[in-house]
Structure formats: structure tokens, C-alpha cells
Chain A
């Protein structure tokens, strides 16, 4: 038997295919690691980082009020607290587990505690961490801390963030040790990674665009680090610049594309993005849920100028325009697919497939009490949402199981979770039906596998 046919046969068997993919990705990762190690060797010679001497911080006394307030606002744009807080833990004290393909990394304590936090860091040390991903001791930081974005932030803004962080209550808390296998536990590999993927330096404005757009681009590309989730990553875990904003991953949610690949039937206009970023809700797109909810909860406190600027930037990268009649046609179709209010309502087109019919019953029974037209509190037309039109069903599965804990600007728009009250087979049928009824897209693949995976971790 030739090695080739051997491999073909293994791929043909589903049971082996998964294992083969795991083995292959291990080999690829190891090759990647060796490659990085070689690069690291070269990089280390030219790129050594000394320890920066510890300082005694003054709790913000050396900064003026305007700087401190500016810094507080900027930590909100960067949503620092979202990653630097463990579930139920003290804000900014770290300890959140961040799963990566290379192992689990725990976020650090960035309160001004001298022993466990950054209480002995000078502004220079903080700036180096933001710009170059190196801690005060000179150790490389893992790029799960998005310094590939933060490197674009201006000195003035970095100073303001530093100023704000020094005013926090010091919390003595040591996050758990990272769980990284060999060779990724060697931080020197990161020297090679940076050589390849870290494009250091402040944001450069684009003179083709006006002030608002450039402000938005600066915030989104820098502190906002939007692309950290909304762009795909390569096998080294680096954002693929050529595919920026094509959609990515966030804590097992699909982070939708924000560019021309966006699947929302209605392209985002600036004002709709403002609605969404501030309130977490737009009536032609739906609600911010999952990992996006804490982000918009922080944006809720930001200045209108900054939110309009970010919105202007993201409106511009979509490059998809509809004229009024095209848009009205989409809205009309979406409304025609909304559930009717009359007792025993059946849609105009009813499926033949028994699974779809069962799914329709579940929808009528469980979902249509709220998701119907003419409701006092009209939820979004499901046909308009990015989630129902998304390439995979994960986000809809999360929402069906856990419901929606609404963001601050849309507290009346909660949805209860149904994970405890409807069975997996009902959820499978429901998902099939939702995709079939509300979109013209092909059915989602491996629904039952993904529902089972959700149940297993629930």
C-alpha cells in the first residue's frame, strides 16, 4: 500500500479525519515553532530589552484632572477591563482565562499593586508594553494582549491611560500561571513572531479622508483593537492583514465581518453604527450579544464625537451601497417573513421536510410569543440579523441556550434562555427552520454537532 492511499483511506473515515487534522495541525504548529525559534535567535541579538527600573507611583498626583478623565475614557474605548477581569473578580485585577490554539493564557493584574500588578511600572515601562509587547522586566508578552494594535496609540493617549491606571485601587491578586505546552511556553519565540507580524509605530492619518474618519480609524485600529476579533488569524495566531475585517473568532462566538464580506442584508450606515455602538441595538440589525455586549457597555460612556468617528470609519470599509428601492425590497421581504399575530398563524410557505415542520412548531410555540409582527415591543426582524445570515450557527445557538443579557442602552430588550427548557433535538430542528424560513442561504452544516458541543460545556 502506498503512503498516499493510506492517507486517503484515513481521510475517508470520519473517525480518523479529526485525529489526522489534529496531528497535522500539531506538526504544522511545531514547524511554525521551529521557524519562530530560528527567527527568535536572530531577533534576540538585535532586539534585547533591558529591565526598566521600578518606580514609586504617585497615585495619579502628577497628572491633571483632564488627563485622568481622558485616560478613563480611553480605557473604555480599549475595553481594558473586559479582558483584565476574571468572572466575578475585581475589575482590572486580571485572571480571565483566554483560550488560544497554543494553550490558555491568563490576563494580568493591571491595578497599581506593587507585587502582583503594575504598581512599580514607570510610564516608560507602560509605553514599552503597549508599543512593543514587553513587560517591565524585559519579558516578551504574548500577543493575546493586542499590542499589534496598541502600538498605534499616541504617546499622549498612552500617558493618559497610564495616569488613569495609577489611580485605581491596588488589588493584591496573582492570576493563575499560563497553561502553554512546549514550545510555546518559551517567550523568546515571540521575538521571532514580532519580527514577522508586529508593525511598530503610531497610527498615520490618511490625507484622502477627513478628520472624523481619521479619528475613527485611529480609535478602531489602535485602542479599540476591533480587528483582534473581527479579522481572521493565521497559524501563528497573528491577524491576517490582507483579510482584515473578514470576520473572526471571539470566545467561541463568530465575530462577524465588518467589511464588504458583512452578511447583514442591510449595509450599515453611520447612524445605525452609532445606535449599535452606543446602545447595543439597531432596529435594522439587532442587538449586541456575547463578547460584544461588554464592549458596547463601555462605549456607552464615550463622547459622541468618538462614536460617530468610529462609525464613519466602519461605514466606509463596507463598500456596499443600496439605493432606496433595493433597501425597501429587503425590508419588505423581512417583514413578510415575520411571524403573524393571529392564533394558529402559519407562514405563506410551509416546509415539507418533517424536521423543518417540527422546527416550525418549536418556533411557533417558544419563539413567536415575542418574535412576531405587531408585538408591542417589536424585536428585530430575524431575516435582517447578521446572526441568522451568518456562515455558521454558533451565535444563534448561544442565544437560544443562554438568551440575551441586554447591554446598558437596551435593557428592555432581554431574551430569556431556553437551554434548560427545550431539548437538543428541538433546538436542532428549530435552527434548521430558522435558517430555512428567514434566509435564502444554504443550510448550516453540522448543527447537531455544534448543539451537542454547546450542551457539553453548558
Chain B
């Protein structure tokens, strides 16, 4: 079935079963492999993307449900890695193995769009859906505060 999806501002028409998880359409059909597969059941956050500006898990979202929405993946967060979170991530050397980090950054971006200057509790609470096997949580929290600072000027 042909579905048209708007990803990072570009329209893509793909031929998939409507219940295919959005994650596989992004990775296999569109070729955007920045979004990762972790658990497949919305429990780890590695596949986090934005749907109309809100955080969503692409591994359990049906492709058909994404039609007519604006999807943003890690590749679309900024054109040149200049999003405050990306700058803060590089500055703070946040990732260790890196596998969960695109999901972490997308979750953090959704948080910052609602709370430009989040407290520790805001961060712990909003980021609790994203798991990091290397345990980079402290660096993530610090980098989110730093990104809020960069964004605030």
C-alpha cells in the first residue's frame, strides 16, 4: 500500500503494509538510520522521534498513523548539528557507546520545547522513558541544563 509521509520537511511515498512500524519505514524505506531499534515494545526509548512536535516511539507506531503528520527524526533536528542539545552533547562528551543517544536527544528536545529551563526533577521525570545501558544519565542531565543555557543565550 502506498503511504505518503512527511519526514523532516520532505515528502516520501513508500510502499508498505499500513501496520508496519514507523521505525522500519524510516530506516529501511527512507534510509534514515539515525533512529535506532532497541526493544520494539516502547520500553527503551531508542526509537524516539517527534510527531507534530511531540515525542513518540516509532517502534510501536503504525506507519498509517503517521500519514498527515510532520515527523522529525534526529537527522532533522538541525541542518548542521547546531541544535543547542547537539552542541551541549558534544561539549559535554555525553555518549559512551552512543546507541541510545539519538533517542535521548529527541526526548530532550521535546522536553525543552515545553520547558525551556527544566529543573532536575523535570528532566528525571521526562527522560525516564529513555534507557541508557552505559549509564550516561548524569551527563545527559548536565547537557540538558547546558542546552537550556545555550538556547537562552
A residues at B contact (CB < 8 Å): 87-88, 297, 365-366, 369-370, 403, 405-408, 411-412, 414-417, 419-423
Contact = CB atoms under 8 A, between A and B. Distances in A.
B115 A412 contact: no
A416 B129 contact: yes
A330 to B, nearest CB: 29
Contact of A420 (B43, B51, B115, B126): B51
A366 B115 contact: no
Interface in B33-91: 41-43, 45, 50-52, 54-57, 60-62, 65, 69
Most chain B beta carbons < 10 A, residue from A297, A414, A416: A416
Nearest to A458: B54
B118 to A, nearest CB: 8
A421 B41 CA distance: 13
A370 B57 CA distance: 14
Contacts of B56: 420-421
Given A369-B60, A411-B128, A421-B57, 9 more contacts: A87-B114, A88-B116, A408-B124, A412-B128, A416-B42, A416-B45, A420-B50, A420-B61, A420-B69
- A interface: dominant SS: loop
Given A88-B115, A366-B60, A369-B41, A406 B54 contact: no
Most chain B beta carbons < 10 A, residue from A297, A415, A420: A420
Contact of A414 (B52, B114, B129): B129
Nearest to A403: B129
Contacts of B45: 416
A88 B126 CA distance: 14
A143 B57 CA distance: 42
A406 B117 contact: no
B54 A419 contact: yes
Contact of A365 (B50, B54, B55, B60): B60
Contacts of B50: 420
B10 interface: no
Give the 6 A-B CB pairs with smallest separation, nearest first.
Answer: A421-B61, A369-B41, A414-B128, A420-B51, A420-B56, A405-B125
Given A297-B121, A417-B55, A423 B65 contact: yes
Nearest to A294: B121
A406 B55 contact: no
